[in-house]
Structure 1
């Protein structure tokens, strides 16, 4: 899966499932501060990522993920 495919899938579920406004979705966007993702959203993200990308997010691995770009990097590191 390419980086572009990952970014497109992530953007689609952020808009469709988490109802984040498209203008708030950009690489440097902070997940909590800019996009408003809270702890309940993280639960949804875990389920969505498993469904779309085929792996389980480990909470301890997400502690360093602060921006959307870092989230893309994390997914890319898991799906190769």
Structure 2
């Protein structure tokens, strides 16, 4: 999948995802994002491995997950973020 020039996905994240897909140089790519629902959807659509948000944005992130429930899920405390 080719990453487009989407304004809400920073170049560094697009590059990291491309490197991960091309050579497995990166195992996981995580982002921290501010309250922008469109950025949640864009990151999920591009295949980001994890999104860190402020506690007051968790509900917005959950709503973004609704369209990706077949392939994505919210992490739990039992998840290992390094696997």
- When normalised by structure 2's length, the TM-score is 0.30
- 1 or 2 for the larger relative contact order (CA 8 Å, sep ≥6)? 1
* Higher percent of residues as strand: 2
- When normalised by structure 1's length, the TM-score is 0.31
